[in-house]
Chains A and B, each alone.
Chain A
Amino acid sequence: MLHTVNKSPFQNTTLESCIRFARSGDVILLIEDGVLAAQAGNVKKNLLEEALQKCEVFALGADLKARALTDLVPGVKITDYSGFVDLVEQHTTHSWL
């Protein structure tokens, strides 16, 4: 399963719900405002740390760059649009809108 999250964890519990339903081996991709969760040292960083125990976590580079996010929660990988397409090709996707 691929889970995409596009909401800020500081305004919305979407990321928490996503992590609750994500299973071991699933992939979580942070896009749009979802990438704000990846900022190192943020007050909600335990969410991604928990997710990283069981899932691979990616953030979309274009969204990181647009928001000047360079220092990320350790373990979060960066992907690009073509990587996004590959992930969608490889998995059934649930968009946590």
Chain B
Amino acid sequence: MAEDIKKIMFTVRKPPHGTIYVYEGLEVKLIMAAYDADISVVFMDDGVFAVKKGQDTKDLGIKGFAATYGALVDYEITQVYVDRQSMEDRGMTEDDLLVIGEDEDTEEPIKPQVLESAEIAAMMAEQHNILAF
């Protein structure tokens, strides 16, 4: 029943690669996506670097997660948001964001949606649970 579906938000505030938080957070998202939950993901503060396109971790000797982020829509995680101020404070624009999948019908690439802090705050207030990474 729709009213029983939990609204779960993931906030990603740590930068990628320096620590394992972003990797672990992604794992948890994919696991949660297997359940009947209303999942949203918000990248804020240094977390916006996790959705910067062109990340190449080959020389670090680690697999990286850009490919997995590119498939979020395939995992039915479509509510993916970026805090505009965090992005702009770090010299990034919408053009810098990676693609998280493509539209089933039009095959148009789908990118995270950039929102104002107040819009994100309103969404946070509607959640049953918020998991921070």
Binding site for B on A (CB under 8 A): 1, 13-14, 17, 20-23, 92-97
Contacts and interface: CB of A to CB of B under 8 A. Distances in A.
B129 interface: yes
Interface of B: 11, 13, 44-45, 85-86, 117, 120-122, 124-125, 127-130, 132
Given A17-B45, A20-B117, A21-B121, A92 B128 contact: yes
Contacts of B130: 92-94
Given A17-B13, A17-B45, A97-B13, A23 B122 contact: yes
27 contacts: A1-B124, A1-B125, A14-B13, A17-B13, A17-B45, A17-B86, A20-B85, A21-B117, A21-B120, A21-B121, A21-B124, A22-B121, A23-B121, A23-B122, A23-B125, A92-B124, A92-B125, A92-B128, A92-B129, A92-B130, A93-B130, A94-B11, A94-B124, A94-B130, A96-B132, A97-B13, A97-B132
A66 B120 CA distance: 35
Contacts of A97: 13, 132
A68 B28 CA distance: 39
A70 B108 CA distance: 58
A7 B120 CA distance: 22
B84 to A, nearest CB: 11
A23 B126 CA distance: 12
Given A96-B13, A97-B13, A17 B44 contact: yes
